[in-house]
Amino acid sequence: MKYRDVEVEAYLGDITKLEVDAIVNAANTHLRMGGGVAGAIKRAGGKEIEDEAVKQGPIKIGEAVATTAGRLKAKYVIHSPTMELDFRTDEEKIRLAMKAALNKADELGIESIAFPALGTGVGGFPKDRAAEVMVEELKKHIDAGTGLKKVILADINKDQVEYFKKAIEEMLK
């Protein structure tokens, strides 16, 4: 679906396989890449992604750092924490992580980015609400002006992708 000049889509599949300028890692503040999407990014792209990220940390929730993408098709991985090492997240942390990642994307001058569902894995945040919060922040970012041309909300969980589709349709119509 197109919103203003930005193509926004929900995608069922492996975020690490997407050909975009950047993929987002829903990180912890110490930027260690263990399980979930972070682990998948590290396995697919290489340990150097984590090594490069950890050197830039720790960072606060609401900040984001970019690293190279190793063997991934993307140019960058944007690490945006949704939690501390207590692995707890909430709506405000997800909002801050989404904002930080979008701002970092504009700072890097990239045109395409893919997000996983922020905070829904280890963080245990409800999938439907995460989709709504992410799309709300995306809408605000696009309304404020952005260089992004394409945003993909990706997940391997079919239910999550349906929540993304619903949020996109409801908020960006």
Task: Count other C-beta atoms under 10 Å from residue 87's C-beta.
Answer: 14
Q: Domain span at residue 55?
A: 2-171
pLDDT in tens, 32-49: 999 889 999 999 999 999
Q: What is the DSSP letter of 21?
A: S
Which residues lie closer than 8 Å to 4 by C-beta, 6 or more apart? Answer: 142, 143
pTM listed for this prediction: 0.97
The answer to whether the CB of 156 falls within 8 A of the CB of 14 is: yes
Q: pLDDT confidence of 125, banded at 50, 70, 90?
A: very high
Query: Count of domains in the chain?
Result: 1
Confirm if 169 and 1 have CB atoms less than 8 A apart.
yes
The model's pLDDT over 66-124, given as tens digits with 9 standing for 90+, comes to: 999 999 999 999 999 999 888 889 999 999 999 999 999 999 999 999 999 999 998 99
Q: What is the CATH number of the domain that holds 146?
A: 3.40.220.10
Which are the contacts of 31, defined by CB distance < 8 A and separation ≥ 6? 50, 53, 54, 56, 57, 58, 59, 65, 79, 81
pLDDT, mean over the chain: 96
